[in-house]
């Protein structure tokens, strides 16, 4: 069942989203060669809990051990923070973060470069972020969930990049994952109608090669089958009468 949110409930989700936006600003300078993904996770946990009433929404979710997911290079999602996983110059890292505040969840992900990255990786990141922008713009009344995926497909077509199809966006509310599913591909005019009060996590994931994925033996980390690099950008977005409202801010947009 799709649960529609009131304006007041959306405002509460946005307060959690503002914590995420600030976190993405604060984490950026800490992403550098030699830093472990566990150090980033510990910073995230401390940062989120420093806000009264806020807790990391992912900590313990389905048994996940971290406060954030830290996915490096070919890791698409659900990378487990580890002391032994040190970032190297030229890597990329996706940090997927959720906040629960006053009983409501918000969810976002951003992919960051570590030092200097090569041209193909830069291309991957730019197209994925632009696909997110297009997808968010499609989250309007009288549209459909299929319009969101179609917007991703339109931006990615001809780039040589693969759309990860086995992972999807989702509704967000009292739980991190709610209905409906929001695929990163689709046909305009198909799927559930977009209605005022829907809150959606829109999250295109692209790869430099195959769109096929597999889960590692840790039963969490999802990687590209051909081990090419992957990028992941995500916003929590409300469908409103005046257009899509982003409830989580991009690092460049968030207050320092």
pLDDT (tens digit per residue) in 76-131: 999 999 999 999 999 999 999 999 999 999 999 999 999 999 999 999 999 999 99
Strand (E) positions, 102-173? 104-113, 162-163, 169-171
User: Cα(105)–Cα(174) distance, rounded to whole angstroms?
Assistant: 6
pTM: 0.96
> What is residue 72's three-state secondary structure?
strand
Start-end of H helices in 138-214:
145-156
Q: Give the fold, CATH level 3, of 7-246.
A: Creatine Amidinohydrolase (3.90.230)
- Residue 256: predicted pLDDT: 31
216-231: pLDDT as tens digits: 999 999 999 999 999 9
Any idea where the domains of the chain sit in the sequence? 7-246
């Amino acid at each position: 069942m799709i649960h529609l949110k009131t304006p007041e409930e959306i405002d509460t989700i946005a307060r959690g989203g503002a914590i995420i936006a600030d976190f993405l600003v604060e984490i950026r300078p800490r992403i550098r060669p030699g830093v472990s993904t566990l150090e980033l996770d510990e910073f995230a946990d401390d940062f989120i809990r420093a806000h009264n009433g806020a807790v990391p929404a992912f900590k313990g979710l389905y048994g996940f051990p971290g406060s954030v997911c830290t996915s490096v290079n070919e890791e698409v999602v659900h990378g487990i923070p580890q002391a032994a996983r040190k970032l190297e110059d030229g890597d990329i890292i996706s940090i997927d973060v959720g906040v629960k505040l006053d009983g409501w969840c918000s969810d976002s992900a951003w992919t960051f470069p570590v030092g200097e990255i090569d041209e193909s990786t830069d291309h991957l990141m730019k197209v994925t972020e632009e696909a997110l922008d297009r997808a968010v713009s499609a989250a309007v009344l009288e549209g459909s969930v299929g319009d969101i995926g179609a917007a991703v497909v339109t931006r990615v077509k001809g780039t040589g990049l693969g759309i990860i199809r086995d992972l999807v966006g989702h509704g967000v509310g009292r739980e991190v994952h709610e209905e409906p599913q929001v695929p990163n591909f689709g046909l305009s005019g198909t799927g559930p109608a977009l209605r005022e009060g829907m809150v959606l996590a829109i999250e295109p994931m692209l790869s430099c090669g195959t769109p096929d994925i597999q889960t590692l033996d840790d039963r969490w980390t999802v990687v590209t089958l051909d081990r090419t690099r992957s990028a992941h950008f995500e916003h929590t977005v409300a469908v409103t009468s005046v257009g899509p409202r982003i409830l989580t801010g991009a690092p460049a947009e968030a207050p320092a």
